[in-house]
Amino acid sequence: MQYRNGQRLPPEAVGVPARLSVNPRARRLSIRIDARAGEAVLIAPSERGLAQAVAFARSKAGWMRERLAARPQGTPLAPGGTVALFGRPVRLAAAGGAGAARLTEDAEGPLIVSGGEGEAFARRVENLFKRVARETLQARTDVHLRALGLRPVRMSIADPKSRWGSCSPHNRTIRYSWRVIMAPHAVIDYLAAHEVAHLVHADHSPAYWSVVQRLIGDHRPHRKWLRDHGPALHAVGR
């Protein structure tokens, strides 16, 4: 059978829903669990290696089923719920009417109050998070750019399925996931340093990681935090 990049496989092919992906930078076959999409991503260095990736995945069917079963369930953005902001729990409350979401505080602590009902409420809360993410990540990006003596870049906020950020050195653009704003400040700062460092080294070589270390010190705890807690952040609002 001829396999192609981006092709989706039915559950009976490898034991779970799966998607094929070619990554020329990959050094070996690998499997990534896309908790948000509810599927496994089978990665090969080239399109010719996709058949081997499928065979490898069949041998890992049990592991993939366990990982997908353990993925966090969707957490709705609804009045009465709780969501994290900068690593701290914030309660959600309805304000009535159609006003935009705003961050405030009462005797019990931080509170997000928003108008709208159902999806409209969730959309307003998400828009607030995107605004906070843009302001925070722009500020941290600028700090790291100045530290390396680099020119400003064009920055955008998006909601990718699994990635936290991406950098295109050739056109000097950086894109971040708004969801990282739910992580602690140190993790957010690590992500900004991670993407800015790609303007110096486009790969993940030792030279690249030395730039990240120069910007924020030991980056390993923050990388681990995203690995451990990232799926839960991607489940928010789903």
Position 51 scores a pLDDT of 95
> Which of 200, 142, 149, 138 minimizes the C-alpha distance to 175?
138
CA-CA distance, 204 to 221, in Å (whole number)?
Answer: 17
Which pLDDT score is estimated for 162?
Answer: 75
CB 49 within 8 A of CB 82: no
Supply the pLDDT for residue 235.
Answer: 85
Q: What is the pTM of this model?
A: 0.76
Higher pLDDT, 26 or 3: 3
Residue-range domains of the chain with CATH: 8-69 (no CATH), 82-235 (3.30.2010.10)
pLDDT digit string (tens) for 82-107? 999 999 999 999 998 889 999 999 98
pLDDT tens sequence across 38-76: 899 999 999 999 999 999 999 999 999 998 887 777 788
Look at residue 15 and tell me whether its pLDDT is greater than 90. yes
Tokens found for residue 108: 């019990």
- Give the residue-averaged pLDDT of 164-176: 95
pLDDT over 90 (residue 30): yes
CB 90 within 8 Å of CB 83: yes
- At 212 the pLDDT is 97
